[in-house]
Amino acid sequence: MTETPRKPIFGFVFTPRQIQPGSPQVRWIRVPARGPLRLAVLVLVTLFSMSLLGSALFALAGMRSPAGVGIAMAVIVLSLPIIGLVSRAWVLGTFVNDTGVKISRWWRTEHVPWPAIDSVDEQAGMGGHQVILVTTDGMIRTSIGSATLDTLLRTEAWSIAVDRMQTWWRESRTSPPSAA
């Protein structure tokens, strides 16, 4: 007797994809994964900014005087850039997939395809070591460093991140991603 396949609860929203052998990695994977220190800072800053905005909204709802409404509106307007920066902080980092490397910084995001990268190296600096991408146009610094919030006091995570980047680069040189 064969068992009927289980259907996900929210299958109508998130349709499951059948992963076939040899299919390319299209989802961006963060290298290294967020460390405990980065997660703690992000969660605390997010909770603080959301509680600031929430308290301002409640204060706005209960205000009866024009001066109180003005102050509450000023707090809301001043907290919007903070919320924008906190949202951006959640997506900062270096990401890889079969097409290349995506480096999300505070004000811009760079995409470098694997064929344009000549090598993935380490470079020593004043703040520890950092992974750089050597291209025909020059060097591109990644956000992967030995003294970042992701790898601080976690030398094994730093070593794994460097190895993962170099391995992904090597494997992308030998077999180009196949079209799905």
pLDDT per 10-residue tile (average), the chain, 180 residues: 68 68 82 93 93 82 82 82 92 94 95 94 89 93 92 91 93 65
Q: What is the pLDDT of residue 45?
A: 93
What is the architecture, at CATH level 2, of domain 92-173? Roll (2.30)
Please report which helix (H) or strand (E) contains residue 117, including its range. Answer: strand 117-125
Q: How many angstroms separate the CA atoms of 79 and 123, rounded?
A: 38
Unique residue bearing structure tokens 């396949």: 5
Q: How confident is the model at residue 175, as a pLDDT? A: 61
**pLDDT of res. 178:** 54
Domain boundaries, the chain: 38-90, 92-173
Q: What is the pLDDT of residue 180?
A: 47
Burial of 162 (0-12, 13-18, 19+ CB in 10 A): buried
Residue 118 dihedral angles phi and psi, to the nearest 5°: -85, -35
Structure tokens at 136: 């025909």
